[in-house]
Structures are given as C-alpha cells and as structure tokens.
Amino acid sequence: MQNQAFQEAGLNSVYTTFEVTDLEGAVNGIRALGIHGASVTIPHKIGVMQYLDEIEDIAAMIGSVNTIVNRDGRLSGTNTDAYGFYRALTETVDVDGKNIALLGSGGAARAIAFALFYFGKPAKLEIAVRNEDIDDAKHLRKSLIAYLALPEESVGVVPLVKWNDIGDNVDIIINSTPLGMHPNTEVSPLAKEQIRKGITVMDIVYHPRDTLLLRNAVEQGCRTVSGIDMLLYQGVKQFELWTGVDAPESVMRDALMQHLQKSH
C-alpha cells in the first residue's frame, strides 16, 4: 500500500519491515539513518513511547504509538489508528448524539473509544465485554472520563450477557475484538437477532472483509463499515505525515485489496 503510494506520488522512498529486538537501538537507528518515519506494531506500541522526543495528545491518551515521524532528527509519536477508525465510521454515519456500543476493551478498543470522544460527541458509549474483561472495561471507562473530562453518565460498562439491557437503544455497534477473523470466520460476538434493524455496524476485522457480524447486519437492513477502511485510512494518514503530500487514496486501496485477495 505505502510503496504503491510512493511510486504514484513520484517519491524516492521505500517502505519495508524490520523485526526489532532492541527497541531503543532501533529508535536510535531511525535518527542516525535519517529514516523519515516508521510504523510501530505489536509488541512495541507502548514500549517505544519512552524513547521518543514527543508524543501527540491522542497517542498519549490512548497510551500507544503506531506511527513515528522524524522531523529534522526529532522523533514524534502519534496514533493514526484513531484517525483511521473515525474517518472510516463517519463516512457512513455521524456519531454526534448517537448511542454507541463498543464490543471489547483491548488496545484497539482504547483507540476507538478515545477517537469517538476526541473527534466527536456521542450521546453515550457502552463498552460491552465478556465477564472476564469487566475490569479492563472499567479501567478504560475511568481513563476516558478522566482524560477528556466527560460526564460520568456518558460512558457505561455492560457484560455481553446483559446485551438486551442496551441493545434496543444502540444506534451504532463497533466490534473491536478479533472474533470472526480468519480462519475462524463463522464466529460473531453477537447473534443476528441481537442486532437492531436499520442501525450501523462496524467490524474492525478486515480478513475476511465480510465477517459473519457484517453479514448478519446486512440481513437486518443495517449499514455496514468494513475494517479495511480503517486499515486504509490509518495508512493514508501515515503517508501524509511522513511525506507532507496528499495520499493517492485510490491507488492505496487497490494495492490493499489486491494483497488481501492474494492472502485468502
């Protein structure tokens, strides 16, 4: 995706992967070699923060960095997952004033929850999780309220087994769990009858593109948002931060789709 974008934009740049075992050494290498920027993946998204010169607000709130930008030797960390998610969702539905259910409480959920309130104004966010994840969900709720000075009633936590308590009032459902990801494609965090007709459902799983959750949502007459859009737009944001030029989005989307089709 990034290399096709560099080629399309006529930039003498290359995007490649490095397996990092010495995190501090890798960050020093970025400075020493004059590398313009980097993506950061699991397991380094949190650990890398201590070695950077500055952390942007949204990344500091989320507590993880997925993007490094080198500005004349000064390394800045940000999180484009939040932007990618928010753009993908809001191209389909406006979040302001909506009741939203977020399934899951892990790292992706944290980026999504902060993006919702950092960029938008939902009426209420319910973090819906399995019983064993209740403590994580409560911690996420507490962080949101503290960092963004939200009213206590704007964020709730509900066990998935009590979904019926909130399901009828939800306008948007967002799945941030890996349920439904290849190869376990016939699994969904919600049954079809738990999805209210005509709402919006987003699944951040992108392999496969049409997860069981999204297929059930379509049968319920819902609008759907694929995880592919989030993946694309976080990459678009990275490209623009690294290069300072507009990303060739259609070229990037085509490259991404071709790669995903090959990996099926």
Tokens of 253: 């989307």
Q: Running DSSP on this structure, what letter comes out for residue 187?
A: -
Which positions ≥6 away from 94 have C-beta within 8 Å? none
Is the separation of the CB atoms in 77 and 46 below 8 Å? no
Tokens of 263: 């990996």
User: Measured between alpha carbons, how far is residue 78 from residues 6, 45, 82 in Å?
Assistant: 21, 10, 10
Is the separation of the CB atoms in 78 and 58 below 8 Å? yes
Q: Running DSSP on this structure, what letter comes out for residue 56?
A: -
Determine whether 121 is an active site residue. no
> Which one of 45, 98, 124, 237 is the catalytic residue?
45
d(CA 56, CA 69): 11
The residues that are catalytic are: 45
